[in-house]
Amino acid sequence: MRHLIIASLVLFTSLGTRVYAASDELPPVTIIESKDLAADAKVARERKLPIMLFFSQSSCPYCEVMKETYIKPMLRSGWDKDRVIIRMVMTDNMGSVRDFSGASISADQFTSRYKAYMTPTLAFVDANGKELAPRLMGIGNEYFFGGDIETAIETSLHKVRDVALR
Identify the pLDDT of residue 164. Answer: 58
Identify the pLDDT of residue 7. Answer: 39
Answer yes or no: are the C-beta atoms of 163 and 50 closer than 8 Å. Answer: no
Query: Is the residue at 8 inside a domain?
Result: no
Query: Is the residue at 24 inside a domain?
Result: no
Please give the residue range of the domain that contains residue 33: 29-165
The conformation of residue 95, written as its DSSP 8-state character, comes to S
Identify the pLDDT of residue 78. Answer: 85
CATH number at residue 44: 3.40.30.10
Identify the pLDDT of residue 68. Answer: 93
* pTM greater than 0.85 (yes/no): no
Mark the ranges of the chain whose per-residue pLDDT is less than 70: 1-24, 163-166
Q: How many domains in the chain?
A: 1
Which own/partner contact pairs does 133-141 have at CB distance under 8 Å and 24+ positions apart?
Answer: 133/50, 133/159, 138/62, 139/62, 139/65, 139/66
Identify the pLDDT of residue 20. Answer: 44
Query: Is the residue at 5 inside a domain?
Result: no
Query: Is the residue at 140 inside a domain?
Result: yes
Query: Is the residue at 101 inside a domain?
Result: yes
Identify the pLDDT of residue 46. Answer: 96
